[in-house]
Amino acid sequence: MRRTTWGVVALVVFIAAAALIVAATDVPAAYLFAPLLSLAILWIGLGSLRSLQMGGAHIPDGDPQVVDPAVERTTYWCAGCGAELLLLVRGTDAPPRHCGERMRERIEIQADRGDGVS
């Protein structure tokens, strides 16, 4: 069983036990549910830190690939300011950002004219 599943099972058991104790005794509910709330806050905080740890997951593992502009001409266009970029080395498939937005990709592939010269 995964670690998250064990955490959910332990949480459900704790809530059920706390509800039984509150119903059967004079213990105020806040005394039992306050530690539960602190555990929930800790769980959310640790989850946020784990997401920060994965922040560089978009960076590719492989080496950048050189794009031959004679065969494939990839440009990125910014809808905000009109800037246009020509891709010479491909590092990742995600388009770059400009003016706070993703740039629009346009790929032109050189058609083979059949005479060996393109």
Near Zn ion in 3-62, by CB under 5 A: none
Least distance to Zn ion from the beta carbon of 83, Å? 5
Quick one: which segment of 22-30, 31-39, 66-74, 79-87 binds Zn ion (CB under 5 A)?
Answer: 79-87
Give the count of residues interacting with Zn ion (CB under 5 A): 6
The Cα 76–Cα 35 span in angstroms is 52
Q: Is 80 in the site for Zn ion (CB under 5 A)?
A: yes
Contacts of 60 (CB under 8 A, 6+ apart): 91, 92
Comparing CB distances to Zn ion, the nearer of 27 and 97 is 97
Identify whether the C-beta of residue 43 lies closer than 8 Å to the C-beta of residue 14.
no
Least distance to Zn ion from the beta carbon of 105, Å? 14
Near Zn ion in 93-112, by CB under 5 A: 98-99
Residues lying near Zn ion in the complex (CB under 5 A): 78, 80-81, 83, 98-99
